[in-house]
Amino acid sequence: MLRKGGCMRADFFKLGTIAVLAGLLGAGTALADPRPIDGKLLKLKTDKGPSKNLFLFKAVKQPDIQAIPDPTVDTTLLLRWETSDSAGRTDAINLDSNLWKGLGKPAGSSGWKYSDRDATEGGVKVLLIKPGAKGGLLKILAKGAAWTGVPSGSLTATHLDLYIGDDQYCATWDGSTGDVKKNDPAGFFLVKDFDAPGTCADAICGNGRVESGEECDSGTAAGADGCNQNCLFEPVVPSTFETIQDKIFNPGCALAGCHGSGSEQGNLGLETGVSLGNLVNIDSFNPQAVVPLRIDPGVTRDDSYLFRKIAARTLGGAYANPGGAGMPYADPVSADCLQALGDWIEAGAPASGNVAAADTLLINACF
């Protein structure tokens, strides 16, 4: 292997895409117009397996469902819930702008209907919202495995939030109103005729909208891309394998004439995106190799041919004759980074996640 230049990643941390974009756009307080609504019916069935998941919500005669913004511009649906010992929520479901139909003439004057036979967006098949002389109507139907609103245990509260443009339609059941027909911890919940909340929540972390007190919002329950579960910016730590790729393979191995694309010595490509699949539990294909696999994960590092080949240049001694020449051909990998590679291998050579001991060593220069 040859080496050109230094390590590709200068910083151990990086900001995620969403965090960066939110900062560039100057995201700040973005409060929706609250429109609390009663619930005529809320049904949630998740007890028959993912393919038969069902969510159904209906509201009728709602005075706040009248002048409805154009949902093709921006519509997001979110369900949150609580049980006696846990809480959960769906990710923010952004409804495809191409699947809306405006009702009436002109289109939208009598409401809007969203239809998706394949339930591709979060399992939502139908959303109907219509104004009316005695108040408007809202119906939402979601089905199948793509619907991720799957509580575990009997429900103590549910919160539905539908954002259409600047309007936020919200419905809450907290046990204080409504006729509960079913609340089976196995996954069957049915309540009828529950009252609207006093107001809608003015900030919900994870709804995909940057609101009061938030720096960012990734639209997921777990947080992602530099935006944490509290909707605050935080650095994203690359996985241990990503750092090995950037600090060992890319600058010292995945190069022209060595293990780069189009010049893969020993039929081994080590460029980004292919290296892991070419290493873990893969035969060395070298009859001289002192161990059979390029990387044998979860056992001693000495059982991995890749480690022995690199250790031959870095440490020599007992590693001096791995079967074939040591690697890289130019400057050897540093002792700290070799140790980190071994720690990662013995931790199971994970494609994602972090091996703390290895991460600490990889902060140092590898060459």
Q: How does pLDDT run across 225-265, given as a tens digit for each residue?
A: 789 889 999 887 899 999 999 999 999 999 988 999 887 88
Predicted pLDDT at 29: 46
How far apart (Å, rounded) are the C-alpha atoms in residues 84 and 155?
Answer: 7
| Three-class DSSP category at 123 | coil
Q: How confident is the model at residue 31 (pLDDT cuts 50, 70, 90)?
A: low
User: Averaged over 44-58, what is the pLDDT?
Assistant: 96
CA–CA separation, 237 and 234 (whole Å): 9
What is the pLDDT averaged over residues 133-155?
95
Bridge partner list, 190: 43, 182
Per-residue pLDDT tens over the stretch 289-329 = 999 999 999 999 999 999 999 999 999 999 999 999 999 98
Distance set, CA 262 to CA 2, 22, 295 (Å): 15, 39, 22
Q: Which amino acid is at 137?
A: L
Looking at residue 68, its pLDDT comes to: 95
Alpha carbons within 13 angstroms on the beta-carbon side of residue 179 total: 5
Query: What are the phi and psi torsion angles at 126 (to 5°)?
Result: -140, 135
Rounded Cα distance, 206 and 210, in Å: 9
Q: What share of the chain is helix, strand, coil (3-state, %, to 5)?
A: 20, 25, 55
Judged on CB neighbours under 10 Å (0-12, 13-18, 19+), 219 is buried
Is the pLDDT at 4 greater than 90? The verdict is no
Q: What is the mean pLDDT of residues 175-199?
A: 97
Separation of alpha carbons 99 and 85, rounded Å: 38
Burial (CB < 10 A; 0-12, 13-18, 19+), residue 26, is exposed
Is 10 or 230 the better-scoring residue by pLDDT?
Answer: 230
Residue 65, judged by CB atoms within 10 A of its CB (0-12, 13-18, 19+), counts as: buried
Does the predicted TM-score (pTM) go above 0.95?
A: no
> Over 60: is that where the pLDDT of 23 sits?
no
Give mean pLDDT, residues 209-213: 91
In three-state secondary structure terms, 66 is: coil
* pLDDT confidence tier of residue 361, bands split at 50, 70 and 90: very high
How far is it, in rounded angstroms, from Cα 286 to Cα 290?
9
Instruction: Give the mean pLDDT of 343-359.
Output: 96
* Beta-sheet pairing, 33-36 with 179-184: unpaired
Q: Which of 17-31, 87-101, 264-278 has the lowest mean pLDDT?
A: 17-31
Closest to 32 in 3D by CA, of 239, 211, 251, 275: 211
Considering the chain, what is the average pLDDT of its residues? 90
Predicted local distance difference test score (pLDDT) of residue 264: 84
> What is the rounded distance in angstroms from the CA atom of residue 249 to the CA atom of residue 327?
11
pLDDT at res. 237: 82
Burial of 225 (0-12, 13-18, 19+ CB in 10 A): middle
pLDDT range class, residue 10, cuts 50, 70, 90: very low
pLDDT exceeds cutoff 70 at 211: yes
DSSP state of 90: P
User: Residue 328 and residue 340: Cα distance in Å, rounded?
Assistant: 16
pLDDT digits 0-9 by tens, 90-111: 999 999 999 999 999 999 999 9
Confidence at residue 42, expressed as pLDDT on a 0 to 100 scale: 98
Return the pLDDT at 338. Answer: 98
pLDDT of residue 225: 75
Lowest mean pLDDT among 36-40, 99-103, 207-211, 223-227: 223-227
What is the per-residue pLDDT for 24? Answer: 36
More confident residue, 68 or 26: 68
